Amino acid sequence: MKHSLLFAVAVAGALTVQASGQINGAGAAGYLERGFRMFDDLNYTGCIDQMRAMERLTPSPGQMEEARRLTALSALYLGHDDALRLLQRWIADYPASARREEMLAAVGDWYFHRSDYPAAVEAYGRVDRDALDSYVAADVDYRQAYSRLMLGDTEEAMQGFSRLARSDRYRAAGAFYRGYLEYAAGNYAAARTLFKEAAGNAELNDVAQYYLAQIDFVQGDFSGALSLSRQLLKNDAVEQFAPEMNRIAGESLFNLGREEEALPYLRRYASTTDRIRPSAFYILGVGEYRLGNYQAAIRSLGHAAASDNAMGQSANLILGQSYLAEGKADGALMAFEKAYRMGFDRNVSESAMYNYAVAKSEGGRVPFGNSVALFENFLREYPQSEYADRVRSYMISGYMTDNDYQSALKLIDAMNRPTPEANAARQRALFALGTREYSSGRLTEALDRFRRAASISGADRSIARQSLLWEGICQYDLERYDAAVRSLEAYLKESRRGDPNTVIARYNLGYARFSQADYKAALTDFRDVIAARPDNRMLADAYNRAADCLYYGSDFAGAADAYDKAFALNPEAGDYALYQKAVMSGLQRNHKQKIELISDLCRRYPTSSLIPAAMLEQADAYTAVGDNNAALKAYDNLLRDYPASTYARQGMLRKAIASLSAGRRKEAKEAYRQIISSYPTSEEARMAADDLKRIYADEGKLQEYSEFIASVPDAPQTEASELEALAFRAAESDYVANDRTERLADYLRTYPGGVHEPQALLLMAKAAEAAGRDAEALEYATRLTDRYPHADVSEDALIIRAEAELAQGRGAASLESYRRLEQSASSPRRLQQARLGVMRTALMLDENATALEAADRLLSSSAENLTGLQEISYDRALALSRLGRNDEAEAAWALLAASPEDEYGARAAVSLAESQLRSGNAEKARATADALINANPPHAYWLARGFIVLSDALRAQGNGFEADEYLRSLKSNYPGTEAEIFDMIDSRLKQQQ
């Protein structure tokens, strides 16, 4: 064991100077004599003053030579910056002087005292040593040897120090440095002899004893090392010795079996130095562990466990036991696995595996660890281990514990005669995989898993029943309503009293029957849901759907009452209930109430997707009560506020029809012309053109009609030619039947601007989109939306256009396309699609206020059965966080994080933990990450991110070892390939190096 502590030995070596002349003389000789005397007395400042005074007289050349020499040497010994210049100038001016070699040596001294060892060696190398007297020669030998030692030239340094054996002044110093060189080379016997020789010198005794203690320790003489280190600590010899001597004393006591005595020394060592040896950490950790000081043991052993040797393996084993004693199964599991894999000591590996099994049974987690493979490997290596039976028992449940359901199924399916336990595990694995597939949107695969889980006989009937429920949900989402009804009815038939999922099953059954138009049966289901009193959101929706069923059954009063109750339960999103109640009032001929309710709707929910339709209904109600002026104003308001919507066009068309019915032909003609001029590519324009043509025909003014139509770009043709219609129908049929677009392309070339051009362009855009040809899809969608902005198919094209623009990285253009769709959406469903697009794209562009507004509008309406609720809630929280509204964001993420099986629930948990960590609340962040990890969600990427934020939280709490071990284990076991995960791991580990 080597130590690099070196002490330069200071040995006096002033040059001797001959005195001459009269000390009291007033001439040059007197000044020179007084300068000599002051130089000998080490009064170098006085010497310089005498020499400067002498130079003002008329000294002889010899006197001037001596004066300049003494001045240069005095400047050297005073440390003046110009000393080197004075020395070099003297050497240049007096090349034949007998003092030349001494002055060359002095140049070497100038570099030596400034620790410029390369320059010092070079300068001493120019000195003729034989021309020096023995006193100065010894100085040169010592300083040159020391310089070579500092430069790592050990062979030359050894030779130089060896020459000092004959020097009375440097004999001890030479012996010490030769001892150090022997010690550094591992020649401890020779080093011991030389250090003992140096110890005879009072100045060198302590430092020599320091190295003798090191040698005793390295050679296993722990009693000798203990004695010397204690003596040095008692004497308080050199401050720098204390940390290392505490270590030597502590480790020596440990090796002598006196562990309790060792701890105080090692604690002092650890508290007084930043560079602590792993061996000291190990001994200190073991001692703390045996005393039951597990937290202290963890802190010390965490440093020793990084050593890649037998000591490091043992440190990991005891570290794991310390974690277990503290109830920290995760840290224990990682430490035991590391100890097992290191393999330096088979007994330690065997014990580590047993302890690994214990930690696993207590809930320990390793990121994406495969404990079964580890157990299998253990049994291959240690088939006769006393722990073998215990390990085998863990293999049975290992895959399930690790949630490696695919591997569990593969293992069970390979069994010739699966045991009841194996079948139970198979059922649990199938059910768990089914929920994962469903959460990931793979509905067909999920349905297959649930069917298999439900069909396993003799297994857990509860899981079988829940599988039937999930079967029904999958089939409903796949729009297989008959099958959904059968599965959900089967679940309800087998469900037990008090089963909380019964309400969910009945709710989904109601929707399935509603989708079959079996409103009577659906009404019964929704009433059952209402009787169960679920949470307000579901209850309000059940009232809405029950009201819809009553509406379709023409029970308008009953429907109105149910809509009332839905509104009262969830007024924040009560736009649908209020709108439908207004419609019921109109159906009951209470048009005044309808008008009032719609006014209330517009006031309460100004951003609702139902507002344009409601304004149209209100105008119709005004017409029904004979208030034509109010109706006309309502139509005009609709056109003003929602000019791009289909409801505005419908309102104008109704206004024209009403005017025509009332005999106001002029007003009707003007309204029809306005529709055609404003929305020439719309279906309403085509209908207006038909009506307008009949009016002009009745008036005998068809030529005027033709001139008007010709004056409007893209005005509707009343009908396609027979050939054009046949060409389009053939092209459309070929596309639908054979997925071919050649005939559609021919149609577009042959009939540019044809009646069916919008539909053909949409089909071409869809085909390109399905094939992944984004540029081509964008081209067709853009042609359609720009040329036919009011066509019915334009909304489909806008979605294709926005998605293609986003795929090309044109986020701003995509956002604008979604905004166009938001303005022109003809249904609540289309408006929901538009607002989802706005929200997602705005977040990508960091337009967070826009994203938040879109999310709030989505969540504030019940007009459409909202899909992607978790995504909307997550994105809303993300926008809040970016806007600095952290408390609101964290509250929203916390709600989502309660369902980590959903991808957005897992994402929310990670975002919540990261936000808590940024706010300085590491404990909350750790708890949030722990909850996510314990839930073991099926989303590998977000689970990995959970482990990373857990590591960050642990590090923030001062637990660097466990933080690093999580990262290392994640790096080794993560099954994904995302570079981002590995970059995050590597950057954190690198920061700790």
The tens digit of pLDDT for each residue in 399-439 reads 676 677 887 787 677 666 777 877 888 898 899 899 888 87
What mean pLDDT do residues 709-729 have? 77
| Whole-angstrom distance, CA of residue 618 vs CA of residue 153 | 101
pLDDT in tens, 886-933: 999 999 999 999 989 888 999 999 999 999 999 999 999 999 999 998
| Whole-angstrom distance, CA of residue 473 vs CA of residue 310 | 56
Amino acid at 254: F
Supply the Cα-derived Rg of the chain in whole angstroms. Answer: 46
pLDDT band of 698, cuts 50, 70, 90 = confident
Show contacts of 302-310: CB within 8 Å, 24+ apart. 302/960, 302/961, 302/962, 303/276, 303/278, 303/961, 304/278, 304/279, 305/335, 305/338, 305/961, 306/278, 307/278, 307/282, 308/342, 309/344, 310/344, 310/345, 310/348
| Whole-angstrom distance, CA of residue 634 vs CA of residue 615 | 7
- Residue 957: what pLDDT? 92
CB-side neighbour CA atoms (13 Å) of 708 = 19
Tokens of 987: 């950057």
CA distances (Å), 604 to each of 47, 586, 601, in order? 101, 20, 5
Tokens of 50: 């005498």
Tokens of 459: 């297994």
**Alpha helices in 151-204, H assignment, sequence order:** 154-162, 171-184, 188-199
CB-side neighbour CA atoms (13 Å) of 596 = 5
- Residue 333: what pLDDT? 84
In this predicted structure, the answer to whether residue 980 has a pLDDT above a threshold of 60 is: yes
- Residue 867: what pLDDT? 65
- Residue 360: what pLDDT? 72
Higher pLDDT: 831 or 388? It is 831
- Residue 524: what pLDDT? 95
What mean pLDDT do residues 254-259 have? 86
- Residue 471: what pLDDT? 94
pLDDT in tens, 6-31: 544 444 333 333 444 455 666 888 88
| Whole-angstrom distance, CA of residue 597 vs CA of residue 599 | 5
Residue 27 phi/psi, 5° resolution? -85, -170
- Residue 12: what pLDDT? 36
- Residue 806: what pLDDT? 93
pLDDT band of 513, cuts 50, 70, 90 = very high
Lowest-confidence pick of 20-24, 394-398, 460-464, 710-714: 20-24
Between the two ends of the chain, the Cα-to-Cα distance in Å is 24
Other Cβ atoms less than 10 A from the Cβ of 942: the count is 20
Lowest-confidence pick of 23-32, 366-375, 468-477: 366-375
| Whole-angstrom distance, CA of residue 914 vs CA of residue 882 | 13
Lowest-confidence pick of 156-160, 393-397, 951-955: 393-397
DSSP category for residue 607 = T
Amino acid at 292: G
Tokens of 711: 């004056």
- Residue 364: what pLDDT? 66
Share of the chain above pLDDT 70, in %: 93
Helices (H) and strands (E) in the chain, counts: 53, 0
- Residue 2: what pLDDT? 39
CB-side neighbour CA atoms (13 Å) of 834 = 23
Other Cβ atoms less than 10 A from the Cβ of 753: the count is 9
Higher pLDDT: 19 or 764? It is 764
Which residues, 6 or more positions from 583, have their beta carbon under 8 angstroms from its beta carbon? 551, 594, 617
In this predicted structure, the answer to whether residue 362 has a pLDDT above a threshold of 70 is: no
Angle between helices 100-113 and 134-150 in degrees, nearest 10: 30
- Residue 632: what pLDDT? 84
- DSSP three-state, residue 447: helix
- Residue 396: what pLDDT? 56
Angle between helices 646-661 and 665-678 in degrees, nearest 10: 160
| Whole-angstrom distance, CA of residue 110 vs CA of residue 765 | 86
Most confident residue range from 241-250, 704-713, 928-937, 940-949? 940-949
CB-side neighbour CA atoms (13 Å) of 647 = 25
Torsion angle, CA of 94/99/103/109, rounded to 10 degrees?
180
- DSSP three-state, residue 919: coil
- Residue 7: what pLDDT? 45
| Whole-angstrom distance, CA of residue 617 vs CA of residue 717 | 30
Higher pLDDT: 267 or 76? It is 76
- Residue 16: what pLDDT? 37
- Residue 314: what pLDDT? 92
pLDDT in tens, 66-121: 999 999 999 999 999 899 999 999 999 999 999 999 999 999 999 999 999 999 99
> Of 399, 419, 477, which Cα lies nearest the Cα of 445?
477
As to burial, measured by CB atoms within 10 angstroms (0-12 exposed, 13-18 middle, 19+ buried), residue 247 is buried
In this predicted structure, the answer to whether residue 625 has a pLDDT above a threshold of 60 is: yes
| Whole-angstrom distance, CA of residue 186 vs CA of residue 211 | 12
> Of 795, 587, 583, which Cα lies nearest the Cα of 598?
583
Q: Apex CA 171: angle with CA 165 and CA 174, to 5°?
A: 85
What mean pLDDT do residues 662-677 have? 86
As to burial, measured by CB atoms within 10 angstroms (0-12 exposed, 13-18 middle, 19+ buried), residue 390 is middle
CA 883 and chain centroid, separation: 20
Q: Is 543 in contact with 528 (CB distance < 8 Å)?
A: no
Q: Apex CA 787: angle with CA 786 and CA 789, to 5°?
A: 65
What region, left, alpha or beta, does residue 700 occupy, with left being phi > 0 and alpha being psi -120 to 50 degrees? left
Lowest-confidence pick of 253-257, 580-584, 722-726: 722-726
CB-side neighbour CA atoms (13 Å) of 579 = 24
DSSP category for residue 164 = G
DSSP string of 557-577, one letter each residue:
HHHHHHHHHHHHH-GGG-HHH
- Residue 18: what pLDDT? 41
| Whole-angstrom distance, CA of residue 77 vs CA of residue 60 | 26
Show contacts of 820-827: CB within 8 Å, 24+ apart. 820/644, 820/785, 821/795, 823/642, 823/644, 823/645, 824/644, 824/645, 824/646, 824/789, 824/790, 824/794, 824/795, 824/798, 825/609, 825/645, 825/795, 826/645, 826/646, 826/647, 826/792, 826/795, 827/609, 827/864
Higher pLDDT: 960 or 781? It is 781
Residue-averaged pLDDT of the chain: 87
Amino acid at 727: A
| Whole-angstrom distance, CA of residue 432 vs CA of residue 427 | 9
- Residue 783: what pLDDT? 94
pLDDT in tens, 517-536: 999 999 999 999 999 998 88
- Residue 921: what pLDDT? 94
In this predicted structure, the answer to whether residue 369 has a pLDDT above a threshold of 70 is: no
Share of the chain above pLDDT 90, in %: 44
- Residue 802: what pLDDT? 95
**In what helix (H) or strand (E) does residue 938 lie, and over which residues does it extend?**
none
- Residue 409: what pLDDT? 82
**In what helix (H) or strand (E) does residue 846 lie, and over which residues does it extend?**
none
Q: Is 654 in contact with 619 (CB distance < 8 Å)?
A: yes
DSSP category for residue 981 = H
